A and B are shown apart, each in its own frame.
Chain A
Amino acid sequence: MSEKIYGLMAEFDSPGAVLHAAEKVRAAGYRRWDVFTPFPIHGIDAVTGQGNSLVGWVSLAMGTGAFASVVGLIWFTNAFDYPLLVGGKPMFSIPMTFVPAYIMMIMGGAIGALVGMLGLNQLPRLHHPLLNKSRFALVSRDKFVIVIGAEDQKFSVTETRKLLETIGGVHVDIVEDQD
C-alpha cells in the first residue's frame, strides 16, 4: 500500500467565509479543488466555475425515450401484433396513446434525473480518501471544507498550505490517498 497525497484540506466556520475563501482559491489560479458543505450554498456554483448541470438533459433524454417507446409499444401491441377493435374506434391513434406515454415519460424523466445525478457525481462509490479524515465528518454538520487536490499543477504542500491559512482556513491538513 503506497501512501500518496490526495490534497490539502482546510476548514471554515460559515458559508460566507467559505464562499470568500473559495473566491480567493480561484483567484490564486488553482483548478483542481472543491468545496464541501453540509448544504448547497448560494453562489458557490459560480465560484467553482460550474456551468449548467447535465442532469436535466439526461432526464429529458430518458423522458422522451420513454414517451416514444410507449407510443411504439401501444402501436405494436394494439394495432400490429394483435389488432384490437374496441367500440369501433381506430386500432391506433395518437390521442389514445397520450396518457400512458405521458405517464411513462414522467417515470423515465424521474429515473433519468436520479441516475443522471448519481452518474455525474460518480456515485455510488465505496470509498473516498476524504472520508478517512475524522474532521471531515463535520462537513455534514456545521463545517465547510475546501480541498485543493495534489493533481493540481500549482499544488505544493508548503505554498498551498500557506494560501489556505491566509484565507482563513483552520485545521489545514494533508489528505492521504491510500490505494
Chain B
Amino acid sequence: MIPLPPRWMIFTGILAACALAIPPVVIARVRATPDENRAVHIFFDMDFQPKFKSQAENPLFADGRAQRYAVAGTVAQGETMLDSHLYEGAVNGKWAETLPEGMSMTPEFLARGQQRYNIYCSVCHGYAGWGDGTVNKRAMELMSNSEGPVQGTSWVQAKSLHDPLVREHQLGMLYNIATNGIRNMAGYGAQIDLEDRWAIAAYVQALQLSQDASLQDVPPELRANLQTNSTQGEVK
C-alpha cells in the first residue's frame, strides 16, 4: 500500500478541489440573472473617449444636454418655411386640395402614407380609421372604470376619420392636423417627416374613399375577387 500524507493535507486538497467548482457556478448564475449594475470595466482600451455621442450628457451646460438647440430666433439655411402650401397646407388662405410641388399621388406615395399611418396614427384612429386603435381602447377602459376615471384620465374617444365632418377636410387641412394637432390630438410635426405627413394625409383620403365605396367603385375585373373574399366572411 502507498503511504498516504497526513489526513489534514488530504482534507485540504479535497476542499481546494471542491472550491474550484464554485466560480463556474457563480458565473453560470451571473449569466442567467439580470443585473441592475453595469459590469466592472477591466480593460479600458479606448472605450471611453472625450467626445459626446448623440443624446449624451454634457455637464458644462445648465440643461445637461450635449446636443444643443438652435439659438432662439435663428433660421437655418433652407428652412425659412415661407412656402405656405408645403408647410401649412394652405394656398391663398384656403386649405390646399392638392399635393405641394414635387410630390405626386403615386401608388408608392400612398403605400408610404399607409406605412407611416400605421406607425403613428393607427394607435388611436385604428388601421381602418374608425377611431378604434389600441391606445384609444385602453384609454376608454380607463374612463369606464367603476370608481371613476383612473388617475385623472380624461380621454375623449378618438375621432373616426369617416365622420362626415372629417370627410369634408381638404388634403391641406389633413396635413395641417397631422402637423399641428387639433383639439386633444397632439401635433406630429416633430415626429414625422414633412413629406411623410403629406403622404399620411393622402392615405387618409384614400382610407375615407375605401370605407365609403360601393361595388361600382371597384374596377370590374377585381369585383369577383372581392365577392369571393366576402363569402369567406371577410370583406377586404
Is the A/B pair a real complex? no
Interface residues in chain A, defined as those with a beta carbon under 8 Å from any beta carbon in chain B: none
Which residues does B use to contact A, with CB under 8 Å? none
